[in-house]
Structures are given as C-alpha cells and as structure tokens.
Chains A and B, each alone.
Chain A
Amino acid sequence: MNATRGHLTALAAIVAAGVAVAFGVRDQVTLELIFTFFLYAVLGQSWNWISGYAGNISFGHAIFFACGAYASGLLVTAGWSPWLAFVSGALAAIVLALLTGFPTLALRGHYFSIATIAVAALVEVTVRVAPGLNGANGFELPIRSGWSALEFADKTNYVLLALALFAAVQLATIGLERSRLGFYLRALRANYAAAESVGIDERRWKLLAFAASAVMASAAGVLYAQDTLFVDPPSVLGLSVSIDIALIGVVGGLGTLWGPAAGALVYVVLAKGVALHVGGSGKGYDLVLYGAIICVIAALRPDGIVGAIVGRQRRARGAAGPDALAAEPT
C-alpha cells in the first residue's frame, strides 16, 4: 500500500512538473524533446507489459504504434476527426495483437523474439502493398490548428497530450502491479510450468496483456502522427522503430514501473542530444554511445537502471518484498 502511495505521489509530481514545463518553456525544440520523452516513455511502458512483466521479448512492437499512426493518416486525409483515430487505431491494434499473439505468445525466448521480427516484416510488406494505404508514400496530414483537428502550431499542447497519455499508462501499470493479471504474468515469467500447473492459463492472460499493450502503443502512434504530420512505412513500421522501443524498456529495467521512463530519458538525452551536438544521426556516434550503454547494462546490471536501484533498496532493508520472487529474473 505504502509503495503504491509513493508511486502515485511521484506520478503527481511528474504531472505537475510536466504542466509547468509545458507552459513555462517557450523554446519549441525543447518542447518537442519533452514531447518525445513522454511519447517514448509510453511506448516503452507498452512494450514492458508484454516483454517485461510477461517476459516475451518483442522486436516487433512498432506494428501497434503504426496502427494508431496509420489510423490518424487515413481518417484525417479522408476528412474525419483525428479523435476517432484513438478508437479505430486501438481496435485495429487489438485485432492485430489477438491475431499475432494467439499463435506466437506461447513461444519461448528467442523463438518468440524472432517470430515478432517476422510478423513485423510481414505487416510492413502488407502495408506497402495493401490498397488504400498509399504504399511507400504514406500519408501527409494537412496543416490545420485547434483541438478538433488535434494539431497545434505551438508544441505546448502536444506536451500536455503526451503527458496525459503517460499519466494514464502509468496509472494502468500501477494497477497492473497490484492486479491478478500482474501477479499471473510475473508468475508465468518466473516459471511458466509451475504457473500453469496451478491453473494459470498462459495464453489467455498473455493475450489480455498483449492487447492492452497494443492499445497504449496505438494511442502513442496517433499523437506521433498528429505531431509530425507524416506517416510512412519506415518511420512508424521499420525494424529500427521496434528496436528503439525495446531498448528503452531494457535500459530502464524490465518489468519495473519506472523503468521505461528512465529508459526514455536516457534515450532522448543521448540519442537526440548526441545527434544535435555531434551532428546528425547518420554519423553513427549516437549508435555507438547507445550500443555501449546497452552492452554495459546487459553485462553488469541486466535488470536495468530502475532494477538496480530497487535491488539496492531491497538489500538495504534486508528483507525481500512480497513480489521479490516473481520479480527476480530467471
């Protein structure tokens, strides 16, 4: 209970700080970076539901992000309200999650990971050739302004929207950690055979988590499309998008509440900061730094930044929390 109150307080503080920054900062580039931070924190958390809590490492999560982004592109260019994209993108994401998750979620380890790469590649090809999705050209959204068009000249409102989505996703994850679903997922991750032997239906609960995760990523996709006003296969469906999402989850700490936010912070500061200051992402310095950090974390602290902090607190207290066993990486 105490831990939950602490998390809620921290979240309230972040929301307050986010609102203050959204209205206080006038530099559009900084605002765009903060928007990107919240967006990636949402994507990382979405990935964390299935790959962290449930333990199925996905390298194809961009397909759900693309559901929202393409829903936006399709609806807006057809003259509909972009707000509908939250619903239709989510529906498409749920269908895609159930369709691809049903056969693959029972696969273990790298079998699942490579399957997600294959599924994502198939989805990308489908989008490229499917009629009505504009193939390689994608969608360019018309420039408008206002809440009904969900487009703004000033980045403040984008930060507020991403912040709201982040808060909702964090609240849902706080709920997950305390819910039956959360306990089942962690039990399945720790030892699926033991979990199934006490009657936990692996496919059912993982599908539920996968669908929820897909909805979050889709919502992030809508905001992305409304911000950049451009959607095409490489920018929302490419393997590199999926890898970025996964690395954010991994760097912060698999299966932790604040891990994705920590990972997104590292990502935005490093990837964008290096790109801005050392010049262009084409030179590879951002990849060098990012790759090196992942290597160091994997070799020394595979439980990520937040995992390392939590582990230290636990040892300091000298006692393991109630979920220490399930949270322990296996």
Chain B
Amino acid sequence: MEALSTFGQLLVAGLLTGLVFALVAVGLTLVYGVMDVVNFAHGEFVMLAMYAGFGLALLGIGPLVGLPLVSIALFLFGIVVYRLFVRRLLAGPPEASVFGTFGLLVLMQGLAQALFTSDYRSVPNPPFQGTVQLGVFALPQAALVEGLGAIVLTAALFAFIEYSPVGRAMRAVSEDRTAATLMGIDVQRINLLAFGLGAACAGAAGALLLLSNPAFPDVGASFALTAFVVVALGGFGSIAGALLGALIVGVMEVLGGYYLSPELKLVPVYLAYLIVVLARPQGLLGRR
C-alpha cells in the first residue's frame, strides 16, 4: 500500500514535470513543423524570457502579469532573429540551419554570461510557494500553475493551428511548401509568423518556469536537451505529440530518478529517444 501511494505520488509529480517539458517543447515543434528547422537555440530563448521575467519582477510586476509582456517581447525578438538570421539559414544547405542555430545558442549564452554573470537569479518573494493537498497527494503550487499554463498554452496553440486561417496556412506550408506557394500563400510570411510564435511560446515557458527555477546563462540548455527528446518522441512537428512525449518523458525521468538513482534519471529518457527514433523515426504522433 505504501509502495503504491509512493508510485502514485511519483506518477503525479512526473506528469507535472512533463507538462513543464511540454511548455518548452511546443514552440520547438511548431517551428520545426512549419520550416523544417530544429532551433537549437530554443532553450536560450527560454533563458532570455526568464531574465526578462526576472527584470519585470524587480520592477514589481509578478510572473503571471508579466507573462503576456514577456511573450510579446519574445515574439518581436523572434521576428527580428528570423529577418536578420534564420531567413538566410533557410536559403543555405540543411546543415547551415543545424550549426547556425547552434551558433546562436553559443552567442546567446555568452552574452548572458557577459551581461548578467553566471550567478543564479531568483525572483524575490515569488508567489505560489507551498503545497496543495489533493487527497493523498501533496503537490507544489508552482508546479501546478506551470502545469496549468502548459495545458492552456498547448491547447491555445493547437486551436490556433487547427482553426485559424493563419494556422491553416502554416499546416499547408508544412505539408507541401511548393503547393502552398502555388495556392497563393506567402511562405516567407508564414515562416516569419511561425518563428515569432515559437519564440513567444518560449517566452511564456520562461515566464512560468521562473516560478520554480532561477535564471542563469545555461538554464535553457538543461530544458532544451530534454525538449529535443520530447519533440522527437512525439513526432517532429506535432503539437499533440509534443504534449504526449513530454508527459512520457516527465514520468520516466521522475520514476527513473527515484527507482534507479538521481544520477541515472535521464538514462531511460535517452534510451527511449534512441529506441523510438530507430524503430519509428516519425515519432509517436508524427507523420512521415
């Protein structure tokens, strides 16, 4: 009975962890789906958002009020980065976008170190501390808010892609770029919007993650590495897949950390990536 309730507690903790991963992964998978680019700097976008949220907190603006502001700021940042940089990468060979976005990762981490130093920055007196008792489960409030935010964000993005005219155009571009152009869709504009939207997702993720994590220059990398696995697991380009993949990875990581050892918590995650990518390269919910 004891073991069962521990398992249940771990399962819930894992699902909440997974929702946080989903937060980071949806923006990544959106950009990939539309323009076939894995943005290796996506984690650094999250890091930038966390510093932005931290700055707002110092001005007395709380994380939830700050969230839309940070998202809009990151949307604009994404637009600028696309116009100046990503557009050129897309014109080059595929490896250009792999190492180009990797270069952006290095550049942004370096800038953060140079400007903000490597110190950990935590929001003073953050809201949503303490736990909520749900039946037998004690759940941290911050994780609940982050999880709720992830569900809302994923649902909103999903609805946008499925039902809005721009979302329909994005799906058309991701399915067949040439045909989409022939149907009168401005592919460059759709790419631009998708990249901005992906960055805005990173903005929302960063603002929420600040509830339970300090901001520091490498913070994005720790989330992004898992996010790549999540996105591959769910299927590159699939938003529902990203959510499913994130929940699976979250549960595996928490269970692995408890039953194996904290040092080994990522072993089942990486093994799962390798198995999925070898046996079913399109991921769980992706299409070929």
Contact check, B263 vs A243: say whether CB atoms are below 8 A apart: no
B112 at the interface (CB under 8 A from A): yes
Residues of A within 8 A of B228 (CB): 114, 117
B195 to chain A, nearest CB (A): 15
A23 at the interface (CB under 8 A from B): no
Given A114-B273, A129-B263, A284-B110, the answer on whether A295 and B278 have CB atoms closer than 8 Å is no
Q: Which of A125, A284, A285, A302 contacts B95, CB < 8 Å?
A: A302
Contact check, B107 vs A288: say whether CB atoms are below 8 A apart: yes
**Chain A residues within 8 Å of chain B by Cβ, number:** 45
Residues of B within 8 A of A298 (CB): 89, 92, 96-97, 99-100, 103
Residue of B nearest to A111 (CB): B277
Contact check, B85 vs A114: say whether CB atoms are below 8 A apart: no
Given A284-B110, A291-B106, A298-B92, the answer on whether A250 and B99 have CB atoms closer than 8 Å is yes
Given A284-B110, A294-B102, the answer on whether A122 and B270 have CB atoms closer than 8 Å is yes
**What 12 additional pairs, Cβ within 8 angstroms, besides A243-B106, A302-B93?**
A114-B38, A114-B277, A118-B270, A247-B102, A250-B95, A284-B113, A284-B217, A287-B106, A287-B109, A291-B104, A295-B85, A330-B93
A324 at the interface (CB under 8 A from B): no
Which residues of chain A from 257 to 303 have a CB within 8 Å of any chain B CB? 282-295, 297-300, 302
29 interchain pairs, CB-CB under 8 A: A57-B95, A103-B274, A104-B278, A109-B94, A114-B38, A114-B273, A115-B273, A118-B229, A119-B270, A121-B225, A121-B266, A125-B267, A243-B102, A247-B103, A284-B113, A284-B114, A287-B110, A288-B111, A291-B104, A293-B103, A294-B103, A294-B106, A295-B104, A298-B96, A298-B100, A299-B96, A329-B92, A329-B93, A329-B95
B178 at the interface (CB under 8 A from A): no
Which residues of chain B from 263 to 281 have a CB within 8 Å of any chain A CB? 263-264, 266-267, 270-271, 273-274, 277-278, 281
Residues of B within 8 A of A283 (CB): 113-114, 117
Residues of B within 8 A of A243 (CB): 102, 106
Residues of B within 8 A of A223 (CB): none
Contact check, A295 vs B95: say whether CB atoms are below 8 A apart: no
Residue of A nearest to B95 (CB): A57
A110 at the interface (CB under 8 A from B): yes
Given A114-B273, A115-B274, A302-B92, the answer on whether A291 and B110 have CB atoms closer than 8 Å is yes
User: Hey, what's the 0/1 contact readout for B204-236 against A, CB within 8 Å counting as 1?
Assistant: 000000000000010000000100110010001
Contact check, B109 vs A117: say whether CB atoms are below 8 A apart: no
Residue of A nearest to B86 (CB): A299
Contact check, A122 vs B99: say whether CB atoms are below 8 A apart: no
Residue of A nearest to B88 (CB): A299
- Bound-state Cα–Cα, A55 to B99, Å: 13
B118 at the interface (CB under 8 A from A): yes
Q: Using C-beta atoms within 8 Å of the partner chain, give the interface range for chain B.
A: 35 or more
B275 to chain A, nearest CB (A): 10
Which residues of chain B from 1 to 51 have a CB within 8 Å of any chain A CB? 38
B144 at the interface (CB under 8 A from A): no
Give the A-binding residues of B (Cβ under 8 A).
38, 85, 88-89, 92-100, 102-114, 117-118, 217, 225, 228-229, 232, 236, 263-264, 266-267, 270-271, 273-274, 277-278, 281
Contact check, A114 vs B229: say whether CB atoms are below 8 A apart: yes
Contact check, A110 vs B38: say whether CB atoms are below 8 A apart: yes
A14 at the interface (CB under 8 A from B): no
Contact check, B106 vs A290: say whether CB atoms are below 8 A apart: yes
Q: Which among B96, B106, B107, B267 has the highest number of chain A CB atoms within 10 Å?
A: B106
Q: Which of B109, B263, B266 contacts A284, CB < 8 Å?
A: B109
Q: Which of B117, B236, B278 contacts A103, CB < 8 Å?
A: B278
- Bound-state Cα–Cα, A107 to B277, Å: 8
A296 to chain B, nearest CB (A): 8
Contact check, B281 vs A107: say whether CB atoms are below 8 A apart: yes
Given A288-B111, A291-B104, the answer on whether A115 and B277 have CB atoms closer than 8 Å is yes
- Bound-state Cα–Cα, A103 to B106, Å: 30
- Bound-state Cα–Cα, A226 to B260, Å: 35
User: Hey, what's the 0/1 contact readout for A26-50 against B, CB within 8 Å counting as 1?
Assistant: 0000000000000000000000000
Residue of A nearest to B225 (CB): A117
- Bound-state Cα–Cα, A144 to B85, Å: 51
A270 to chain B, nearest CB (A): 12
Contact check, A299 vs B113: say whether CB atoms are below 8 A apart: no
B150 to chain A, nearest CB (A): 22
Residues of B within 8 A of A297 (CB): 103
A157 to chain B, nearest CB (A): 34
